[in-house]
Structure 1
């Protein structure tokens, strides 16, 4: 039997609170490759996997460079495809 894990999704309001950054800053970070793109969860709704948000916060706390965070973002987004 294959065990499946539950993925908790967080909407932009929660991302803003968790990251202590403004909504426009988060979207600017996305365009610069410093934050993962959201996932469409409905026709007019997007959200982020909670684990992606947590990983970015941990990287910032650890003092990772912008290039290191871009590499992390690429890895996080690639892992979405793999499932």
Structure 2
């Protein structure tokens, strides 16, 4: 399956939040960590973004989101 990578401007547009909010959510375990694309570039796998967005829309609690984030990050590279 082809997986696209979303860069920060895409993430900000999709979630409607600020850059600092995204990185605070990453720090708090409520948003997936970005993957390195190069020396000074990061991005987020689009399938993980879709899964996280669906969970938010479904109204999952912060604890459920933290668990989902952990699962998504743990499954990277296992396919």
TM-score (norm: length of structure 2): 0.95
Pick one of 10, 15, 37 that aligns with 1:14. 10
Whole-angstrom distance in 1 between the partners of 2:58 and 2:50:
12
Q: Which structure has the larger Rg over C-alpha atoms? A: 1
Cα RMSD between the aligned structures?
0.8
Candidates 15, 20, 23, aligned match of 1:24: 20
- Structure 1: gaps of 5 or more residues: none
Aligned length: 79
Which 4+ stretches in 1 moved above 2 angstroms? none
